[in-house]
Amino acid sequence: MTLGNYYEATRKVTINTYPICGDLSVDVAIVGGGITGISAALHLAERGYSVALLEAHGIGWGASGRNGGQVLPGFGASQTKIKSLMGAERSRQLWNLSVEAVNLLHAQIERFNIPCDPVRGYLHAAIKPRHVRELEEAQAELAELGAPAGRLLKGAALQARLRSPQYLAVLEDPLSGHIHPLNYTLGLAKAAQAAGVKLFTHSRVTKVEQGRTIRLHTENGTVSAPFLLLSGGAYLGGLMAPIAGYIMPAGTYIIATEPREDVAALIPGNEAVADLNFVLNYFRRSADNRMLFGGRVSYSTLQPPGLGASMLRRAIQVFPQLAGARVDYLWGGNVDITRNRAPHFGRLAPNIFFTQGFSGHGVALTGLAGKVAAEAIAGQAERFDIFARIPHARFPGGRRFRVPVLLLATSYFRLRDLL
């Protein structure tokens, strides 16, 4: 078993980046080298702004290069939850923006010829009778929102699309799909570089001086700018204390089997799949016919013991055909969840913007987040402010106690998954 990231092993895009050395002044500084920061940098550069992006590790090192690659509209919170928070009109606006996010992702892939294996198609899977009812409700809700029609499949129609004994029904979703997320992130970064963005890697920001001109300090240099975007997500840590308490880093994990001839037959339409449990399983085929199977959550962000074997057991429960499969890759990373699972955007000052809290639903939404943040910095903040109006609360217990408090709060949902 290789304790490594399958996406790193199959990266197809090469970019040259360096640590910052010396002092630099630009129009906009960005912290975080994932999809959000890179998307914002690209859109700002195309508007004529000079941009410097600072990343503590490598481009795509965080959630953008470690996730399940599942491209979805909507949010970590259900549309019903968004409606309760924002009202009917605002919730529809947010839904439409999330659909735009999916379309933007595919448009950027085509525009910049990014080799990230894009596929359209998704199956939402029901394990229990109550899940079937939830899929029926979701189908009606999506129709009301004007989403592309998806059929609810059962019996032989279900088995023709998903060769698993575990599921009672699946709901088709032709808008969603999957990509190789690291290649997408790197391809977007290459486009940003070509547009003039300065990408500085292995350049951790240690201090932020606020003011009309903001100064970011690193070990070997500084960046000064009149505008700052913070897009480090779960890896921003305590750099900006006022927003740190609104997100919880949560570890999630994926295995990749060896390439297998039988994998294509397990999901003949090559859709991405996820079930409806609170601690869900999500999976898909890779371009080289491996099964990529994700799940498990660690709110301590520490990798659980025996993870590879337990993940394979979960995969075999879904697909008994994988009995005897070999796990070639095992990796994980942290996602930034909010208490209500809705994204958290806003300002810390008139010239300091932040985007965080994608709650495991960010492959598409992060690209749009960067675009609307760029619009706001350029003085067109209407769309950014739709997100910024979503109400949020801090996690209780402070940094020391919020993990045990969250574990207690989620125990009910974990038990409910078993019923």
Strand 291-298 relative to strand 272-275, pairing: unpaired
Residue 315 lies in a domain: yes
The CATH code of the domain that includes 125 is 3.50.50.60
Please report whether residue 368 resides in a domain: yes
Which pLDDT does position 8 carry in this prediction?
Answer: 97
Handedness of CA 77, 129, 410, 300 (dihedral sign): negative
pLDDT, residue 400, reads 55
Q: Containing domain of residue 27, as a range?
A: 6-409
Smallest Cα–Cα separation from 350: which of 186, 168, 251, 228?
A: 228
Q: Does residue 415 fall inside a structural domain?
A: no
Q: Among all chains, which residue has been given the structure tokens 């999630």?
A: 252
Position 225 in a domain: yes
- Convert the pLDDT of each residue in 263-291 to its tens digit: 999 999 999 999 998 788 999 999 999 99
- Per-residue pLDDT of the chain (419 residues), as tens digits, is 457 999 999 999 999 999 999 999 999 999 999 999 999 999 999 999 999 999 999 999 999 999 999 999 999 999 999 999 999 999 999 999 999 999 999 999 999 999 999 999 999 999 999 999 999 999 999 999 998 879 999 999 999 999 999 999 999 999 999 999 999 999 999 999 999 999 999 999 999 999 999 999 999 999 999 999 999 999 998 999 999 999 999 999 999 999 999 999 999 999 999 999 878 899 999 999 999 999 877 776 667 778 999 999 999 999 999 999 999 999 999 999 999 999 999 999 999 999 999 999 999 999 999 999 999 999 999 999 999 999 999 998 755 545 544 544 444 344 344 44
Does residue 16 lie in a domain region?
yes
DSSP letters spanning 92-140: HHHHHHHHHHHHHHHHHHHHHT--S--EEEEEEEE-SHHHHHHHHHHHH
| 35 is a domain residue | yes
Q: Does residue 155 sit in helix, strand or coil?
A: helix
Give pLDDT, residue 256.
Answer: 98
- The pLDDT assigned to 409 comes to 45
User: Does residue 417 belong to any structural domain of this protein?
Assistant: no
Could you give the number of structural domains in the chain?
Answer: 1
130, part of any domain: yes
Residue 349 pairs in a beta bridge with 352
| pLDDT of res. 407 | 47
Cβ neighbours of 88 (radius 10 Å): 8
Give 107-140 pLDDT, tens digit per residue: 999 999 999 999 999 999 999 999 999 999 999 9
Amino acid code (one letter) for 307: L
